[in-house]
Amino acid sequence: MKIPELFEHKKPVFSFEIFPPKRQSGLDKIYDTIEKLSVCQPDFISVTYGAGGNMADNSTCEIASNIKKRFGIEPLAHLTCVNSSMEDVTEMIGRFAKADIENVLALRGDIVPGEAIKKDFSHANELAIEVQRNSGLQILGACYPEGHYESKNLREDIQNLKYKIGAGVKVLITQLFFDNQLFYEFLVQVRNAGIHVPVSAGIMPIVNKKQIEKTVALSGASLPHEFTKMIGLYENDPEELYNHGIQYAVDQIRDLLEHGVDGIHLYTMNNPDVSLAIYEKIKDLL
């Protein structure tokens, strides 16, 4: 199934993101997670790429294939390029074709300190061009409601988005954000710039202190008053932070759905219990 066609015929599209385990021994656990998530009947599940974009011991393709074969859910395989050669990308495209994977999320990927950067690709649009030229894969891309941290400003970042669309990207998924108003303002600017592909809102529930210290800090996302108030009240009370973190994500998603968002992409952090709790509180709007 081609994911862009989902967005043409269904609104909102509801999806999850999972990441491969660090070790092959963790595959059983990830399939248990997917089985639990399957009761939500997601339209697709995305699978992130190997750490640092390293092809060694990369189980993205295997997991994506099994999402389709074992669970009957459409997979979206991430593909990064900053640490990949042209040969690496060609090989991965071939793997995806053999595994009957039809959709990829084309990403530059994170620059890993101390690891040599390969020179064939510098940006996601270059990867998208290569994927479009050498396969029939449907291409999705990432976007940043507050602008990519390497861009001078949001205007420049939206111009870069136009390059992605020109390279064949047909759907955009946002980085996590906590302030819906910033997303709405971003969407207005994107449409005014002539970008009319569907934009799915990426939401990550924050339910423990570790996420605050790592995920929130690294994302660079703005933290609205209601979010910082929640953290201040409950960061030292794990149970209350868990419950209020879920509720914050629920409130965010319900507001987005009531405003007619194209899709919701839930970053699960491989925690099916959190995702199921959120789903129960938003399913009436899906």
Q: Mind telling me the catalytic residues?
A: 17
3-state class (DSSP) for residue 204 = coil
The helix-helix angle for 225-234 and 238-258 (nearest 10°) equals 160
Burial of 39 per CB tally in 10 Å (0-12, 13-18, 19+): exposed
Torsion of Cα atoms, 172 then 177 then 182 then 185, to 10°: 10
Token look-up 């997991």 returns 63
For residue 185, what are the contacts with CB-CB under 8 A and spacing of at least 6? none
Cα–Cα dist 144/140, whole Å:
14
216: tokens are 């929130």
CA angle (120, 139, 119) in 5-degree steps: 5
